[in-house]
Amino acid sequence: MSISEQQLQLIEQQLGRTPRGLVAIAWQNAQGIPAVLQMRSLVDDQPFPTLYWLSSKDLYQAIAEIETGGEVKRIEQQIETDGELRAAHLADQQRYVDLRWQMMAESDRQRIAALGFSELFDSYGIGGIRHWEKVRCLHMQYAYHLAVGGTAIGRLLDIRYGLDKLQLTQ
């Protein structure tokens, strides 16, 4: 999605700064409030940790409270014991890696190769995590969920916490 001047101003308010490496709005609510940003994979010759960045303050705060309550550990334990969830989560990780390469500008692909980062981009999943059975950050997980229309972890968060029903104001 292209970014209007009004949306860019809102994004700057959400983040508290001008975003670096912004490509597009990956997801916004029906009122046009940006919630997920698509980011460049390489910013100032450094790998950016995620393809999708959660910009909504409302979602950020809700997920911060969920993380503080220990949900990351509970989800990781469930991934260990629930084969179906584990398979879906690992498939989401692979889809993320593939999507990041597909959406990357050719100039970034070439620069990543020249800098020796290709292996990193092949092996690091959602949020820049190397161990795919783990969950690094629910914010990045949920941003990916919204951007692609569903992931295993995102669906868990919607079911357990109703994030999909949260009314976004910012």
Angle, CA of 111, 53 and 67, to the nearest 5°: 130
**DSSP per-residue codes, 87-129:** HHHHHHHHHHHHHHHHHS-HHHHHHHHHHT-HHHHHH--GGG-
Domains in the chain, number: 1
157 in Cβ contact with 143 (< 8 Å)? no
* pLDDT band, residue 1 (cuts 50/70/90): low
DSSP 8-state code for residue 44: T
Mean pLDDT, rounded, for 18-41: 94
Give the model's pLDDT for residue 4. Answer: 86
How confident is the model over 74-128, as pLDDT tens digits? 999 999 999 999 999 999 999 999 999 999 999 999 999 999 999 999 999 998 8
Q: Which domain holds residue 33?
A: 5-165
Q: What is the pTM of this model?
A: 0.94
The SS3 assignment for 25 reads strand
The SS3 assignment for 115 reads helix
Is residue 137 included in any domain, yes or no?
Answer: yes
Is residue 170 included in any domain, yes or no?
Answer: no
Is residue 125 included in any domain, yes or no?
Answer: yes
* CA 91 to chain CA centroid, nearest Å: 15
Give the H or E element holding residue 28. strand 22-28
Is residue 42 included in any domain, yes or no?
Answer: yes
* pLDDT band, residue 3 (cuts 50/70/90): confident
